[in-house]
Amino acid sequence: MIILNAIKQKYVLRLIALQFVFIALIITLLPTMISTVSAQGSTEPDASYYNMILIAIAMVVAIPSLAAAYVLKTAVSSAIAALTERQSIGGLALIFVAMGEAIAIYGLIVGMMLMQYLPSV
């Protein structure tokens, strides 16, 4: 059995708490989703549909940005510590930093894709 140290245990507990927050958010938005699906016979979606899209865009952009900030904080500090010991792993450290940036970029791309469902003003 693997015994986690205190830092990893706190991290795992935060991830579990975040999953419960997402589940509560989905349960909260479920009636809005059901009313939107049941009203598909109308030609124009109601305001709850647009509110749901706006909330989804906000979540899709904010959550990966926060995750990328956390990844960059840990990856850059670890990369600097590793580079002080051995300078030959600079390229490998750069790859991990780029992966952290990619998380935020993917969130922005998905947010832009969701914006096509909003009405043009």
Residue 35: inside a domain: yes
Tokens found for residue 46: 């109601």
Residue 1: inside a domain: no
pLDDT in tens, 34-83: 565 555 556 666 777 788 888 888 888 888 888 888 888 888 888 888 88
CA distance 43 to 25: 28
More confident residue, 91 or 29: 91
Residue 74: inside a domain: yes
Residue 64: inside a domain: yes
Residue 62: inside a domain: yes
Number of domains observed in the structure of the chain: 1
pLDDT over 90 for what percent of the chain? 0
C-alpha dist (Å) from residue 94 to 2, 64, 74, 78: 30, 19, 13, 11
Is the pLDDT reported for residue 31 higher than 70? no
What's the domain range around 10? 6-117
Amino acid at 7: I
pTM of the model: 0.60
Residue 80: inside a domain: yes
Residue 75: inside a domain: yes
Is the pLDDT reported for residue 4 higher than 70? no
Residue 1 pLDDT grade (very low, low, confident, very high; cuts 50, 70, 90): very low
